Chains A and B, each alone.
Chain A
Amino acid sequence: MNPENANAPLARSWRDIPQPVKPRAMSAGGRWRRVRRGVRLAALAALAIGLGWGVWFGVGALSAAPKHLPAVAQTVPVRHLDLKTPAGGVLDGAWLARTLALPRDATLLELDLERLRDRLLAEGQVASASLARQFPDRLIVRLTERVPVARVRVEFSGQPRDLLVAPDGFVFQGAGFDPAMLASLPWLSGLALIPEGAGFRPIPGMGRVAQLFADAQFSAQHLYQTWMSVSLARLAIDRQLEVTTKQGTTILFNATGDFFVQLATLDYLLEQVANTSAVRARIDLTVGRNVPVMLELPPPAGAAGDPPATAPAPSPSHPLFTLPARPAINPT
């Protein structure tokens, strides 16, 4: 036998005829079968992906769940409440225990975490909350708190009551804050609080107010410290915020404008006003660079018993102060 013949290639078979056919060479029936097959394959692929996702999800859920709960976990009551808040949080463990009001001898498995979470969120000071069981006896609570930027006084059953306002307009009672810090917050006025549930609907436009306060604290702390109240009465209509200082000076801010520019203007004007003998002023920063300022002069020395005289109010078209022109910018 010749070894070369042993490896002789076999003759070509009909199986070597390529069978793939282009769709345009198919009949309508063949194309329909092709479409059906494609749809079937797509459905199978979708099913496989769905099953895969289900398995993955199931495995993830099972691995996240405790595999073997110690028997003691089902009998030991909750002994530790761990409160974790970001830096600057003022709520403490006592507040947490008081708010959650867990039943005595309640075990971790008996706790309805959803309901406890709702109870925490019902306190307006809590912006978000998450609770986790740590067996055998520890409940971990993570909170983020709202920080007040203003105060508002409301009347409950004929009794005045002070509430706090967060930058998002949320009105809450507040707990654990430094009283000195709270006393430094300006009051809000000229608004109507709308009851909603056990509290109030968030105040609209509070974001711009908070921005004004933040800008003032950042760039003109000495001015901010003199602010006593902010009126939102003209915010919705004229986009104006009316700040009243402790000295009685009224300042109108353009809520849509740049607060840094307006604060700089105000600082300059107040320096000018300080050089006058006016006891209080009304400064309108909403009309641009020509700032109308109305001064209230002290009563003349000889007319002490007369009713207080008000300086003749100049027409807004005749401003008392005009800002100095901006220095020209040399392109070179």
Chain B
Amino acid sequence: MSSQTTFIGAVEIGTSKITVLVGEYTGRELAIIGRGECSSRGVIKGTVVDYKAASECTHSALEQAERDAGERIEVVFLGQTGGHLEGFYNEANVNVKASDNMIEPGDVRTVCDLAKGKELPVGRMVVHHIRRPFRVDGRLVPGNPEHLVGQSLAVGYWTVHGQEQRLADTIHVIRGFNLEVRELVLASLASGHMVTTAEERQHGVLVIDLGAGTTDFALYRDGAAHTTGVVSVGGVHLTNDLSIGLRLTEGQAEKLKLRFGRAAVQTKDRAHKVWLDGNFAIGDRQFSQQTIEQITAARTLELLAVVKKKLGTAFTPETCSAGVVLTGGTAKLPGITGVAAKVFGVPAHLGEAPTWVSENLRDPGYHTALGLLYYGVSAQAEKLAPARRGSGFIDGVKRLFVYS
């Protein structure tokens, strides 16, 4: 084992389950060496509401992952979601200082500080500052504008911020295991980086991560995240609708959703019945499949419509030519791509992990955890292994993103 090796834990504390992946990062390459999972308790809509229960589950998953990896996790990249997360866009513009109008590092630093300097309400904290491309005299500059010539330099930041107490609760769950949270990553950005390509992000793509308690979305334009958001509605609400509509327990409703739920009504015959358990035992009941589909379809349509509404003017079919990519556990609902395509007016498809991800990690439920490692290591590459950072880093990550 190299002395440069860092063992990173990617932790996603979700509403239905907690996922931990252990990555071995050598400065150039990242390999997944361990996995831990645990059913979630004490977490509602991505927010910790019962510290003790959430801690027990998370620590259990961490221990399981460490046992699987045979190594101790050193730092954690933590996924962050929840309805408390919000975002806003702030742009700044400075006149270029030099007499020859050549942009200097000081100009770039000043415009960036100004764009990020907007104050937040009391009790709010920044989670991400996502920079959009620079503009020199209104002209889009994808890269670094230094040494370009122009009268004015402008840049905008999409700032994601969350409630301090909620963020602290999540971090303290990890600290309770005596681990340091090195990076906090928005769940939508993590999964977005996993299921989209750089080309798709350049052309514009909307990633919707349909989780159990929340739906995270990230809109990419010009190769970078343009807008992000969280809707506190997820697969659990579909279950809840079925439970109320058909007068079932949550467990029974969940079972029906998984077996017969659809994002669009497909069954024409209202008289077509399905059994709850199918074992014809006492308590086994029949339900109209069309009714089940109507309930799940209505909620799915509403959910996607809410996402579109939250995106507002940021989303237009013209600026999202790569379409919509759906991921997360609820994205496995049959017919959901069709509904998404209808709602957003662009093609939609289910997100898939890159081909270099091993088979047992290709389930949509792992996209966020994988993305945490992928995104977190990219962001932290300099801090984690400054001596070995090389140009082939991303390729190395892709090559070794294989869990055995």
Chain A interfacial positions (CB closer than 8 Å to B): 1, 5-6, 8-14, 16-17, 19-21, 25-27, 29-31, 33-34, 36-37
CB atoms of B117 and A5 under 8 A apart: yes
B residues near A1, Cβ cutoff 8 Å: 94-95, 110, 114
CB atoms of B178 and A11 under 8 A apart: no
CB atoms of A13 and B126 under 8 A apart: yes
Cβ-defined partner of B114 (8 Å) among A5, A27, A31, A37: A5
CB atoms of A10 and B172 under 8 A apart: no
Chain B interfacial positions (CB closer than 8 Å to A): 55-56, 59, 62-63, 72, 94-95, 110, 113-114, 116-120, 124-127, 159, 161-162, 164, 167-168, 171-172, 175-181, 184
CB atoms of A12 and B59 under 8 A apart: no
CB atoms of A6 and B113 under 8 A apart: yes
Return the chain A residue nearest B55 by Cβ: A27
CB atoms of B117 and A9 under 8 A apart: yes
CB atoms of B117 and A10 under 8 A apart: yes
Show 16 A/B contacts (Cβ-Cβ < 8 Å), sorted by A: A6-B114, A10-B126, A11-B161, A12-B164, A13-B125, A14-B167, A17-B125, A17-B167, A19-B175, A19-B181, A25-B176, A26-B175, A26-B178, A27-B55, A30-B59, A30-B177
In the complex with contacts A19-B180, A29-B62, A29-B63, A11-B116 CB distance below 8 A = yes
CB of A281 to closest CB in B, whole Å: 90
CB atoms of A8 and B117 under 8 A apart: yes
Return the chain A residue nearest B127 by Cβ: A14
CB atoms of B180 and A30 under 8 A apart: no
Q: How far is the CA of A34 from the CA of B176 in the complex (A)?
A: 10
Q: How far is the CA of A279 from the CA of B56 in the complex (A)?
A: 105
CB atoms of A27 and B59 under 8 A apart: yes
Q: Which of A14, A16, A19, A34 has the most CB of B within 10 A?
A: A14
Q: How far is the CA of A19 from the CA of B170 in the complex (A)?
A: 11
Q: How far is the CA of A20 from the CA of B179 in the complex (A)?
A: 10
B residues near A8, Cβ cutoff 8 Å: 113-114, 117
A residues near B125, Cβ cutoff 8 Å: 11-14, 16-17
CB atoms of A27 and B164 under 8 A apart: no
B residues near A11, Cβ cutoff 8 Å: 116-120, 124-126, 159, 161
A residues near B167, Cβ cutoff 8 Å: 14, 17
A residues near B164, Cβ cutoff 8 Å: 12, 17
Return the chain A residue nearest B58 by Cβ: A27
CB atoms of A26 and B176 under 8 A apart: yes
CB atoms of B178 and A30 under 8 A apart: yes
A residues near B168, Cβ cutoff 8 Å: 17
B residues near A25, Cβ cutoff 8 Å: 172, 176
A residues near B119, Cβ cutoff 8 Å: 11
CB atoms of B178 and A33 under 8 A apart: yes
CB atoms of A12 and B110 under 8 A apart: no
Question: What are the 9 closest A-B residue pairs judged by CB atoms, nearest first?
Answer: A8-B117, A30-B178, A33-B178, A21-B175, A30-B177, A13-B126, A11-B120, A34-B178, A27-B59
CB of B31 to closest CB in A, whole Å: 23
CB atoms of B126 and A21 under 8 A apart: no
A residues near B171, Cβ cutoff 8 Å: 14, 17, 19
B residues near A5, Cβ cutoff 8 Å: 114, 117
